[in-house]
Amino acid sequence: MSLTSPEAFSVEKHVAIAAVRRACLVTCTVFNQLVRDRTDILQKEDESPVTVGDYAAQAVINTVLKNAFPNDPIVGEEGADALRQGSNARLRERVISSTGEKAQWGLGSEHERSSGSLLKAIDEGNDTGGPNKRMWTVDPIDGTKGFLRGGQYAVCLSLIVNSQVVLGVIGCPNIQIHPANPDEGKGCIFVAVRGQGAFQITLSGTGAVKLPYFPSETSYVLQSEEPKHTNIPLIKRVSDELNLTEWGMDSQAKYCCLARGEGAVYLRMPAPTVGGKQPYEERIWDHAPGSILIEEAGGKITDSEGTPLRFGLGRGMGENRGFVATVDEELHGRVVSAIKRAQFTEDAKKTKATP
């Protein structure tokens, strides 16, 4: 069967949607019960917060995937080493209790999951990635800081075959179902399969809409809310040149908004390094689901130099040259050119300032 045939990945799509939906419900429960008082939070080495929700969501997704596709490797953001530490016993029990409500997930009471088996489920995401393989990527809560403050975050899952993203599913519990009608409520899942288009459904699984469908009256540049990971001043120069309005948002929800028509560009440029610090390394789970969503909605995504993204290098994506996603090819070319001019101006200022 061809990778782009109408029947391709139909089982994988349904399993992925189910896994993301169930993980979204876990994250919502965790937020309502645990996050509001800002308890049960660790710090990873990169200083981003990790919550019960991250671990619980990854445990749920990995368990569903391994039940359905036991031979498929998983590249996930989280590992369970921190949860094994004695000082984190209370956090570990929170994760177990957060994932032990639904028997059909393979995590419920009739499966009698132990602490060890749950940690093993999280660690199923420790695959190293690479080319010439079929693998899943999992980002259980993309935009953890948005999650903690009740803003935008995303539960992200993709399937990569021989370095090509063939399936992407992104759950956004806090995104409005319709951008212009808040009465319709919030909570969406965005789905794309290679060659089959991109769609939005509600979190409950109804109301499928083909993307894009919303003609925005404002031409937005969607960008990160996190200044540590992106060059905000450079993005502003590009936005000003192209007469675009900046819109900050956490997580791969930016890809979802762009795919359904709310924006014109998603722009992510590496933040300047300070004091010899290494640049932030983008990971394949950060962009694989969003990339296929953009492409199947009729848009284009590359690095900032116009080069196709690479998802077969391992867990990372190689040298960080930034990311450009647009709603059409002509605009994409103009954005790449504007970035080159903005970078030239930035480099000239640095040279002038150096004694």
φ, ψ at 79 (rounded to 5°): -125, 160
For 20, the token pair is 């993301």
> Is 46 assigned a ligand-binding role in the annotation?
no
CB 173 within 8 A of CB 190: no
Rg of the chain over all Cα atoms, to the nearest angstrom: 20
> Is 294 assigned a ligand-binding role in the annotation?
no
Q: CA 95 → CA 83, 124, 150, 245, distances in Å?
A: 9, 16, 19, 40
> Is 77 assigned a ligand-binding role in the annotation?
yes
> Is 286 assigned a ligand-binding role in the annotation?
yes
CB 111 within 8 A of CB 58: no
Q: Are strands 134-142 and 74-76 parallel, antiparallel or unpaired?
A: parallel
Which residues are annotated as catalytic?
54, 144
φ, ψ at 315 (rounded to 5°): -75, -30
> Is 142 assigned a ligand-binding role in the annotation?
yes
CB neighbours of residue 102 within 10 Å: 14
- Amino acid at site 196: Q
Q: Are strands 245-248 and 41-43 parallel, antiparallel or unpaired?
A: unpaired
| CA distance linking residue 209 with residue 184, whole number of Å | 14
Binding positions for Mg(2+) are: 77, 139, 141-142, 286
Binding positions are: 77, 139, 141-142, 286
